[in-house]
Copies of this chain bind each other. A is one copy, B any other.
């Protein structure tokens, strides 16, 4: 892959300037208003299950598409009340292929208390750097004509994934304003349920199949490479959530009056979770890695060609020794995970009290790779838990159940989906590689699979479509967490990337 990249750089060096001219001319003319418009978009709360606000986001996007002259409608599922996807279509006379652009406008749940001082999930502000690295909140003077582009905009969805929506629509706006030639028909598809596992995207696809016919889907989600380079990603891990609750005494007990006698659910849970992995974080659950499809030689070579980021990451994140017993970052991202998203029992810190808690909870996520099946994977975890003497319930135990079973666990399994990978040598894949490279002065990164997840397998299954991911945002964006942010220059460059794909040959 190294060879191809070098060739591409030479071949498209002239085109870099041409492609970026469209995006940059547009950006330079409108920078301040593009950013103001984005801050308005980010001010609309977008937690997936907050349906009234989610619909306000959909309306905002649709209104914008109408202003751009894009034929648009909301695509509903079959289940009543499903959050709609915002759809749009631009038909180009004489075009021989259709490319669909995907992003999602919903965001992960937020706990405003966990955000930094002066930051709020839905009150976007400018920060000079990530909050954790001492970024300062900056008020832009009213007289300022432009925003410094090494600043960031904070807010839930600023990076994941309203940035996808905004770069796609601004790319179209740039091309339209400059009357540039589109080389293909364009479908726009902005989803509102991605952060809860794209529960109904299959329904939406099935019900609107004829509208969604496309040769290729380009997914704008996730971060660009840690090196800062632009990137094309050929697959994603699948994902599945499990919520575990282990039960102790029926009411909280004084840890002195009952300590050593009453079973402590926090102890039970730490024992259970600790027993699922060895000291190198390798999962010890029976058969956990058995069905993993290994990387192909091409994929292994692509991985080997990707710039090393571990030194940078370790320094940036304050990590001396990563998990995985010496395996490389991308090798580890090619394996399934069993991650503890959160754990809670009783209280810690100032609210801690000397008690034996009544329950202990853990939120897990299981990333899946090619070959894994979500139901099979969950069943392996459940079998392990049963082997430790637990009775699995799908509800809080009744008094009778508490007196019947020695160790009780409630397991709730969320919606999820399997992994997806597109072969790297596919002609359409080569077209996208060329277009993205054309918008970048540096060699772009080609990654066989992202560590993150999107329900791309559903695109293959329901629409028979090929699918690739072209991320636009900075890697240090606190995606899914507090203090989420996006760098302004990445937004500009993201618009350039999308212009290049929409107008490429």
Contacts and interface: CB of A to CB of B under 8 A. Distances in A.
Contact of A254 (B252, B277, B479): B479
A130 interface: yes
Contacts of A333: 257, 259-261
A441 interface: no
A43 interface: no
A256 B354 contact: no
Interface in A257-282: 257-264, 266-267, 269-271, 273-275, 277, 279, 281
A321 interface: yes
A451 B257 contact: yes
A351 interface: yes
Interface in A406-462: 406, 450-453
Contact of A404 (B249, B320, B361): B320
B354 A239 contact: yes
A307 interface: no
Contact of A354 (B269, B351, B365): B365
Contacts of A395: none
A111 B348 CA distance: 11
Interface stretch (A4-12, A16-24, A210-218, A339-347): A339-347
Contact of A262 (B319, B354, B475): B319
Contact of A243 (B324, B348, B450): B348
A349 interface: yes
B363 A261 contact: no
Contacts of A354: 108, 239, 241, 339, 341, 365, 480
A405 to B, nearest CB: 7
B254 A480 contact: yes
Contact of A345 (B247, B267, B342, B367): B342
A344 B362 CA distance: 9
| A321, A363, A483, most chain B CB atoms within 10 A | A363
A353 interface: yes
Copies of this chain in its oligomeric complex: 2
Interface in A215-265: 222-223, 236-237, 239, 241, 243, 247, 249-264
A297 interface: no
A481 interface: yes
A67 interface: no
Contacts of A275: 274
A492 to B, nearest CB: 23
Interface in A108-134: 108-109, 111, 130, 132
Contact of A363 (B130, B352, B403): B352
Contacts of A347: 109, 111, 341-342, 344, 363
Contacts of A266: 273, 340, 342-343, 362
A476 interface: yes
7 contacts: A111-B347, A241-B352, A256-B451, A260-B451, A261-B333, A262-B319, A263-B321
Given A108-B354, A109-B347, A243-B352, 19 more contacts: A239-B256, A247-B318, A251-B317, A252-B478, A254-B451, A255-B341, A256-B451, A257-B475, A259-B367, A260-B324, A260-B333, A263-B319, A269-B343, A320-B403, A341-B352, A342-B348, A352-B363, A353-B481, A355-B481
Q: Which 10 A-B pairs have CB atoms at the shortest separation, nearest pair first?
A: A318-B402, A342-B346, A256-B452, A252-B481, A352-B363, A274-B274, A266-B340, A260-B332, A259-B337, A249-B317
